[in-house]
C-alpha cells in the first residue's frame, strides 16, 4: 500500500507539536505550508517559524506563500495530489479552491471544545471566562471561522492556577495525540463528523496588548484570571510612575472597602491592590527592561503602600 499523501499547514510551536507527532508515527507529509519568515523581537531579526525549523531538520519540502488566493500557489498544491490537508494554527485563510484539493478531507486541530471559543485566542478566552474545562477539537474545515463539523474532541481540566502558557503546552500535546489517534480513520473515510450547534458558539478574538491592561474597577477574581490568561503573551500590566509594570503571578484576596487602585499592602506576601471587589495580590512583577522579581524585591525598589494606581 502506498504512503498517504499528506500536506501539513501550521506555523507556531502549537502546530509543530502536531507535526512532530505525525512524523514520529510514520506519517511524514509530502510538503508543509508555513507562514513566510518575518522580523521578530526587539532587534527585528528575520525569524523562521517553529514549524519551518523542524521541517528543515526533517528534509521535508516547505512552502511559504504570502497568500493562498494566488492561482499559481493553488496549482502548485494541486500538483501534489494530496489525500489529506491538515491545518494547525496556520494563520492564513484557506479559500474554497484549496479546501477542495484533498481527495479525502481538509481538517483542523483547534484548541477549544467547539463550538465554544471559535477564533484566534481560544486558550486565553477559556481562562478569562473562568472555564473549568477546555480541550482540542478535530474538525472538518469549511469556509467559515471554525464552524465545520467536528470529528472528535479531547477534554482537559484547567488548573486553578494554570497560565495560558502552561495550558497551551498541554493542549498542543493533546492535539497531536488526537490527530494521530484518528488519522487512519480519516484517511480511510471511516470517521464521521457531527455538526456544531451554532447557537452555542462563542468567539475568541485576537488578543491586543490593550486587552491586558489591569482595570482596578473590575473584580479581583477577574483580574487574577487576566494575569494567568496573558502569561506569557502579552503580559498583564498596569502603569506606575509612567512605567508599564507587568504582573506575572497574582491571586484574589479579601480586602477592606477602599477606593479601587489603592495599594493596601506591600510586603513579602505580595503587593495588594484594591479592586472593584476584593483585592489583587501580585506576587511577581517586572519593570521595563528588567527581570521579573518577587513582590518583596519590587517593594524594596519603590515605596508603594498607600499609593493609588
Q: Are 275 and 238 in contact (CB under 8 A)?
A: no
Average pLDDT over all residues of the chain: 95
Q: Round to whole Å and give the CA distance between 54 and 77.
A: 21
How large is the angle between the packed helices 13-24 and 164-187, nearest 10 degrees? 40
Q: Round to whole Å and give the CA distance between 126 and 146.
A: 16
pTM: 0.95
- What integer is the mean pLDDT of 43-64? 93
Task: Please name the residues in contact with 195: beta carbons below 8 A apart, sequence gap of 6 or more.
Answer: 149
Ranking 1-5, 120-124, 304-308 by mean pLDDT, the lowest is: 1-5
**CATH architecture, domain defined by 6-204:** 3-Layer(aba) Sandwich (3.40)
Residue 288: exposure state from Cβ atoms within 10 A (0-12, 13-18, ≥19): exposed
DSSP conformational letter for 3? P
pLDDT at 1: 42
User: Torsion angle of alpha carbons 29, 31, 32, 33, nearest 10°?
Assistant: -140
Confidence band (pLDDT; 50, 70, 90) for 82? very high
> Is residue 278 helix, strand or coil?
coil
Q: pLDDT, tens digit, for every residue of 245-303?
A: 999 999 999 999 999 999 999 988 999 999 999 999 999 999 999 999 999 999 998 88
For Cα atoms 72, 51, 186, give the angle at the middle one, nearest 5 degrees: 75
Please give the backbone phi and psi of residue 263, each rounded to the nearest 5 degrees, phi first: -85, 110
Q: pLDDT, tens digit, for every residue of 31-50?
A: 999 999 998 777 788 999 99
- Percent of the chain scored above 70 by pLDDT? 99
Q: pLDDT, tens digit, for every residue of 206-242?
A: 999 999 999 999 999 999 999 999 999 999 999 999 9
Q: Round to whole Å and give the CA distance between 140 and 137.
A: 10
Sign (positive or negative) of CA dihedral 5, 9, 11, 13? negative
pLDDT at 295: 95
Domain(s) of CATH 3.10.25.10: residues in the chain: 209-301
pLDDT at 3: 79
pLDDT at 2: 58
Q: In which residue are the cell numbers 497574582 written? A: 250
Q: Are 115 and 202 in contact (CB under 8 A)?
A: yes
Strands 62-63 and 31-33 turn out to be: parallel
Domain(s) of CATH 3.40.50.170: residues in the chain: 6-204
Q: Round to whole Å and give the CA distance between 250 and 279.
A: 10
> Is residue 7 helix, strand or coil?
strand
pLDDT at 96 over 80: yes
Q: Taking the CA of residue 276 as centre, how many other CA atoms within 13 Å lie in the half-sphere pointing to its CB?
A: 10
Q: Round to whole Å and give the CA distance between 19 and 38.
A: 21
CATH placement of domain 209-301: 3.10.25.10
Amino acid at each position: 500500500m502506498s504512503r498517504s499523501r499528506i500536506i501539513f499547514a501550521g506555523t507556531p510551536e502549537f502546530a509543530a507539536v502536531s507535526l512532530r507527532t505525525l512524523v514520529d508515527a510514520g506519517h511524514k507529509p509530502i510538503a508543509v505550508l508555513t507562514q513566510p519568515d518575518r522580523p521578530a523581537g526587539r532587534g527585528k531579526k528575520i525569524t523562521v517559524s517553529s514549524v519551518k525549523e523542524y521541517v528543515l531538520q526533517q528534509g521535508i519540502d516547505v512552502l511559504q506563500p504570502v497568500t493562498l488566493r494566488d492561482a499559481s500557489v493553488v496549482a502548485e498544491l494541486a500538483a501534489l495530489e494530496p489525500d489529506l490537508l491538515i491545518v494547525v494554527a496556520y494563520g492564513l485563510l484557506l479559500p474554497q479552491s484549496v479546501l477542495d484539493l484533498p481527495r479525502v478531507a481538509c481538517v483542523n486541530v483547534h484548541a477549544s471544545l467547539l463550538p465554544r471559543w471559535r477564533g484566534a485566542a481560544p486558550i486565553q478566552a477559556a481562562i478569562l471566562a473562568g472555564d473549568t474545562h477546555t480541550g482540542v477539537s478535530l474538525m472538518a474545515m469549511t469556509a467559515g471561522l471554525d464552524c465545520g463539523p467536528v470529528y472528535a474532541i479531547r477534554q482537559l481540566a484547567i488548573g486553578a492556577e494554570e497560565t495560558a502558557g502552561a495550558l497551551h503546552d498541554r493542549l498542543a500535546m493533546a492535539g497531536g495525540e488526537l490527530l494521530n489517534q484518528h488519522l487512519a480513520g480519516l484517511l480511510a473515510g471511516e470517521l464521521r463528523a457531527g455538526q456544531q450547534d451554532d447557537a452555542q458558539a462563542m468567539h475568541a478574538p485576537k488578543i491586543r496588548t490593550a486587552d491586558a491592561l489591569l482595570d482596578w474597577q473590575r473584580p479581583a477574581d477577574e483580574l487574577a484570571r487576566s494575569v494567568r490568561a496573558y502569561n506569557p503573551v502579552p503580559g498583564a500590566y498596569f502603569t506606575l510612575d509612567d512605567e508599564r509594570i507587568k504582573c506575572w503571578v497574582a491571586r484574589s484576596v479579601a480586602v477592606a472597602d477602599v477606593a479601587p487602585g489603592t495599594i493596601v499592602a506591600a510586603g513579602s506576601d505580595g503587593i495588594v491592590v484594591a479592586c472593584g471587589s476584593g483585592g489583587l495580590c501580585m506576587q511577581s512583577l517586572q519593570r521595563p527592561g528588567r527581570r521579573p522579581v518577587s513582590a518583596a524585591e519590587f517593594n524594596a525598589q519603590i515605596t508603594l503602600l498607600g499609593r493609588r494606581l
